Amino acid sequence: MRTRSRGMVDITEKPVMKRTATAIGVVRLKRSTAEAIGSGNVKKGDVLSTARVAAILAVKETPRTVPMCHPIPVTSVVVEFDLRPETVEATVAVTSVGKTGVEMEALTGVSVALLNIWDMVKSLEKDETGNYPTTAIEAIRVVEKRKEAI
């Protein structure tokens, strides 16, 4: 069977609109790790501030890692965290004015935020063999996508 690569979708004729997408995801941690994040006792520094900056950078760089994603003018990125006893939930909302949606940017931002949280606390999460038996990134998904004429 022969396959044909089509490349990026042509959005030339699509109208310019305000587009927003919100994605969420969770990193599962030990209770003691979540407490260390909350009290600011992580060796690598302020976990959630670092994850916030990483998410914003990831949103802006999405077309570099998702090849068929169009470069878009990102007009807003809002990153929020909900620190719970054994998890951190990350929410990333992205807004753009353009011809294509922003859900891939929101998903990328959430993914990178959660990866950065894991990276910053991995020394607290490892077991005696150096593995992560309870740590998991879960439930990354788009929870809202909107577009409106401008």
> H-type helices in the chain, by residue range?
31-39, 47-60, 62-65, 103-125
Q: Of 10, 46, 82, 119, which is the active-site residue?
A: 119
Indicate if 127 belongs to the active site. no
| DSSP 8-state symbol, 15 | P
C-alpha 108/C-alpha 142 separation (Å) is 11
Sheet holding 17-28, edge to edge: 74-83, 87-98, 17-28, 136-149
Catalytic residues: 119
